[in-house]
Structure 1
Amino acid sequence: MRVLISHIHSRHTKEKPKAKVSIKPDQHVFREEKVTLRCDIDGEGVTSWQYSWYKDSSNSVFSELQEHTFSPFTESDAGKYFCYGAERGGSRSSQDSDAVTLTVSNRAQAVLSVSPQKWLTEGDPVTLICEVYGSSTGWTFSWYTLTASSDNIYFQLLSDSSRGAGGNYTVSSAALKHTGVYVCRAERGEPAYKTTFSNTQPVWVTGVSPRVSLIISPSRTQHFPSVPLSLSCEDQSNSDRWRVRRYTDSLGLEDCSSLRRASQTGSTCTINSTITSDTGVYWCQSESGENYHPVNITVQADVIMESPVHPVTEGDNLTLRADFYKDGSLIQNPKNTEMIISTVSKSHEGFYYCKHSERGESPKSWISVRVSHSESQISVLHTLSSLSVVCPYLLVTVMLIFKCCRMRGETPD
């Protein structure tokens, strides 16, 4: 019947309104998501339309509703759809709409990235970017931090995490409290369809003068396997309320007390014998969940580089050394394995590593540079001393001008 009507009115095709299909939320949808197709026809003088929906190459009408909803959407619902309308009780009809293709995937996945980098110094800007793999329409996003205890890991929603559909969470000036491991999640539709939690992305912020320090013994960031390693959180009050946490690529977020080969006494974590999977970032966490002083520690055989654990102060010297390991023993440092950078500046901040032609290269270590407090004081003192010299002359000049103006005002005509 539909084919016959199209044939009868073929001479007047240009006068027919064309049906249009809209999709909510998107053409690319996910299994178990709610999807709605809507057919609209802008036909002058027509008060009511009878709608017909077709799928793929079938001539059978599968729905006569203006809006057809799949709830939930399944793999069998994927395909090409178009709609057509005929006037109820009249002779007019519409053109077929353009076909739209609905594709389906398994559970939506959120993907999290960090820009410009995950290692930061206090005051640096950083942006967390959350995206949904293969889809970009209609999503709102939430951000979480991972928090570890001795027997559990859980997601903690950021208090200001609802940032709308942009997918970016921006911190204009990073603070020590922003150190942590982040994940994101997206949702859309009503009822809300939620993605999986994203991959984890750590953000590490080093401070100029942190309230707590992570003391490492031996005092370096790179270590050989099979050696003991001690990590202690120390603050000015010698409090033991701090705990050592770590994040590794292989095992994620962990508490020191839950590690094999390790034990925590007070604020000190002791690893009895290091292995390569101990490579990761270690930091101090308070009872309230504040994170301080992240340090990237690597465990590797053959070649390591000795680099400072704490930030280097501007104006100081920086010494980097290479160590070599063979058959379970440390080899005495050969010549020319030491590099000294005199008068360090902020431009020297970055990742460093050393390389040997036969034994390979060491891991990379982040060298953080902090502004010298003494230089700041000198700058302030210099400014004050300059003002003390300038101000008397400035005051005398103003008084002379004032006196001159007064004399002119008292001079008779």
Structure 2
Amino acid sequence: MLLERPKSKVTIKPAQHVFRGDTVTLRCDIYDEGVTSWSYSWYKDGSTSGFCDQQEHTFSSVTESDAGKYSCNGSETEGSRWSQMSDAVALTVSAQPFTNLRFAYPRPYLTNLCSFPSSSCYLSSRASQHEAHNLLHCRSSDLLFYTSELLTVDCCPQLAFLGGSNLKLELNLSLWFESPSGTASKPLPKRKRPKSKVTIKPAQHVFRGDTVTLRCDTYGEGVTSWSYSWYKEGSTSVFSEVQEHTFSSVTESDAGKYSCYGSETEGSRWSQMSDAVTLTVSDPRAVLSVSSQKWLTEGDPVTLICEVYSFSTGWTFSWFTLTVSPENSHHYNLLSDSSRGAGGNYTVSFAALNHTGVYSCRAEREKSVYKTQYSNTQLLWVTGVSPPVSLIVSPSRTQHFTSVSLSLSCEDQSNSTGWRVRRYTDGGRLEYCSSLYRGSQTGSTCTISSTITSDTGVYWCESESGEKHHPVNITVHSDVILESPVHPVTEGDHLILHCLYQHTTSPNLRADFYKDGSLIQNQTTEMSITTVSKSHEGFYYCKHPERGESLKSWISVRGAGSSDVTYAQVK
């Protein structure tokens, strides 16, 4: 026997005719004996392409473009049966109607003003037939009257469209009645509408992840029960209809200005809209800085400073070193000599070689329980005398072009094996050469096949036991670079600097050369210092009027015969 296919049915809630900004849910139902699970397909205006495969599809804020005729069908989830296509159901979306204005006069005299945008509105009065006139005064001082229960209000028509659908008019209305003889009664007193009030607990300024409750209170004489509507600045849609609305874990997107109003649950009274109350949600960040230079010699003092900007009190701090495994897995290690305290400083009075590393901090607050993320990282480098290994860079310069090959080798006088190249990038990443997408480690040599600007950072040699030696600051830049030595220059040596341009067969540019911001040679293909002295130490860069300028490189000068090690810095 051929089973008749069941027919799908579409329902639209809350209604088929809604207003722009409303939340609307389409639901597809299929009732068939023996089928427990259906898959669904939704179609609009006869289109053959389905736009949703759920039983319910919700428009969180409908617009006129969502209007149309919707239909659906279903297929058995674990079977071969199909339903018939449902009848199409029309969804109509209109512009938001004019706010329904209610006036707080004693019932039964006045009940309602119209709730649609029109220059003529209707006022329904339950006054007795014996009262001949209803008089209505508008703010514009117009005076209109009509002698039936249904009063046509044409006064102030120009106000009807001001501000669009969100306009809330406060018309100063007075209502009284005249006797047939023309004697006016005393105007009925205007009852003042109560005003709602918003409170936020535990505070208006909270941290990300906190639990926050918004509460709306309306105190009106004679009203025992209120219904509530909540609004957030920038939206015309009601997002909650309960007296207390709770965010279990706030985020920055929940921040904003909130207001509410109340309506009598079993009556016609409405409160005034509350004043807007601002909820601020912060995500405090710990920021790490260094009191002095990051390149230190054994015995130098250094202080790491951890701060939480804009939230300067009530914090305690912890300090960490960042390590990375050969598999590029990062670990934050709490310093054994770091006790958590209110002070945001970690001081090393006499730097030793083992203080070389990448540091981070974080802050905690007990009053409003909160722990920041780990801060930015800072590299500290402590050098000694005559390191056992040298880092050889090829091409031999501190600045390099993008999209070229770069080689870095660790050379040890006694043992050329067991050394690997590591780096700390300007982006705060601690990496092995072998973990780079374009990098490879062969023996003690690291090769980057095609450089990019994010390869900029500090490179050094590290042994299997964790010894770190000979850091070199490498930058990768397009177009114009300064060709300067990787290693310190010895007093009395001859120093030559070139300005190189990437996109030419004759890379040496005729350029201006600067030291510490001052022009020292102009329009030359090379800058030459025949006899270097300590006074020549500083930051150098070159500039071409059309091609642009290079980054700045630090050129270090050491005394003749000195075994002190100073390293190049670039900024």
Matching residue of 2:533: 344
Residue in structure 2 matching 1:325, options 498, 501, 515: 501
Q: Is the 1:129–1:168 Cα contact (8 Å) retained in structure 2?
A: yes
Closer, same or farther in 2 for the Cα pair 1:298/1:105, shift >3 Å? same
Closer, same or farther in 2 for the Cα pair 1:31/1:325, shift >3 Å? closer
Separation in 2, partners of 1:251, 1:111 = 13
Matching residue of 1:399: none
Q: Is the 1:115–1:128 Cα contact (8 Å) retained in structure 2?
A: yes
Residue in structure 1 matching 2:454, options 245, 257, 277: 277
Separation in 2, partners of 1:316, 1:271 = 35
1:335-374 equivalence runs, <5 A: 335-340=524-529, 342-345=531-534, 348-370=536-558, 372-373=560-561
Closer, same or farther in 2 for the Cα pair 1:329/1:251, shift >3 Å? farther
After superposition, the C-alpha distances for 1:228-283 in whole angstroms (9 at most, x for unaligned) are 21111222322422221112234722210011222101221011222333222211
TM normalised by structure 1 equals 0.61
Q: Is the 2:499–2:525 Cα contact (8 Å) retained in structure 1?
A: no
TM normalised by structure 2 equals 0.45
Matching residue of 1:288: 465
In the alignment, structure 1 segments of 5+ residues that lack a partner are 1-25, 35-54, 60-71, 79-101, 377-413
Structure 2 letter corresponding to 1:357 = P
After superposition, the C-alpha distances for 1:5-31 in whole angstroms (9 at most, x for unaligned) are xxxxxxxxxxxxxxxxxxxxx997534
Structure 1 letter corresponding to 2:450 = S
Structure 1 letter corresponding to 2:386 = S
Matching residue of 1:252: 429
Separation in 2, partners of 1:366, 1:274 = 21
Secondary structure of the corresponding residue to residue 226 of structure 1:
coil
How far is the alpha carbon of 1:32 from its aligned partner? 5.0
Secondary structure of the corresponding residue to residue 342 of structure 2:
helix
How far is the alpha carbon of 1:173 from its aligned partner? 4.0
Structure 2 letter corresponding to 1:354 = C
Aligned residues: 300
In the alignment, structure 2 segments of 5+ residues that lack a partner are 1-202, 220-247, 257-277, 511-523, 565-571
Matching residue of 2:476: 299
Secondary structure of the corresponding residue to residue 337 of structure 2:
coil
Closer, same or farther in 2 for the Cα pair 1:118/1:375, shift >3 Å? closer
Matching residue of 2:41: none
Residue in structure 2 matching 1:240, options 380, 403, 417: 417
Q: Is the 2:356–2:381 Cα contact (8 Å) retained in structure 1?
A: yes
How far is the alpha carbon of 1:167 from its aligned partner? 0.7
Structure having the higher helix fraction is 1
Residue in structure 2 matching 1:125, options 289, 301, 309: 301
Residue in structure 2 matching 1:113, options 256, 277, 289: 289
Separation in 1, partners of 2:485, 2:398 = 7
Q: Is the 1:244–1:255 Cα contact (8 Å) retained in structure 2?
A: yes
Q: Is the 2:377–2:428 Cα contact (8 Å) retained in structure 1?
A: no
Closer, same or farther in 2 for the Cα pair 1:292/1:113, shift >3 Å? same
Separation in 2, partners of 1:328, 1:125 = 47
Separation in 2, partners of 1:232, 1:282 = 10
How far is the alpha carbon of 1:306 from its aligned partner? 1.9
Matching residue of 2:568: none
Separation in 2, partners of 1:317, 1:56 = 79
Separation in 2, partners of 1:140, 1:114 = 18
1:40-79 equivalence runs, <5 A: none
Closer, same or farther in 2 for the Cα pair 1:177/1:320, shift >3 Å? farther
After superposition, the C-alpha distances for 1:293-352 in whole angstroms (9 at most, x for unaligned) are 221111223322222212334x3436141232253545246545223173432x554432
Q: Is the 2:501–2:509 Cα contact (8 Å) retained in structure 1?
A: no
Matching residue of 2:389: 212
Closer, same or farther in 2 for the Cα pair 1:111/1:230, shift >3 Å? same
Separation in 2, partners of 1:155, 1:375 = 35
1:304-319 equivalence runs, <5 A: 304-313=481-490, 315-317=491-493, 319=495
1:100-249 equivalence runs, <5 A: 105-151=281-327, 152-162=329-339, 164-189=341-366, 193-249=370-426
How far is the alpha carbon of 1:184 from its aligned partner? 0.7
Separation in 2, partners of 1:328, 1:213 = 33
Separation in 1, partners of 2:366, 2:499 = 57
Q: Is the 2:410–2:421 Cα contact (8 Å) retained in structure 1?
A: yes
Structure 2 letter corresponding to 1:355 = K
Separation in 1, partners of 2:416, 2:494 = 31
After superposition, the C-alpha distances for 1:151-186 in whole angstroms (9 at most, x for unaligned) are 212222222222622211223344444333221111
Structure 2 letter corresponding to 1:280 = G
Q: Is the 2:284–2:308 Cα contact (8 Å) retained in structure 1?
A: yes
Matching residue of 1:395: none
How far is the alpha carbon of 1:56 from its aligned partner? 12
Query: Larger Cα Rg: Structure 1 or Structure 2?
Result: 2
Q: Is the 2:389–2:461 Cα contact (8 Å) retained in structure 1?
A: yes
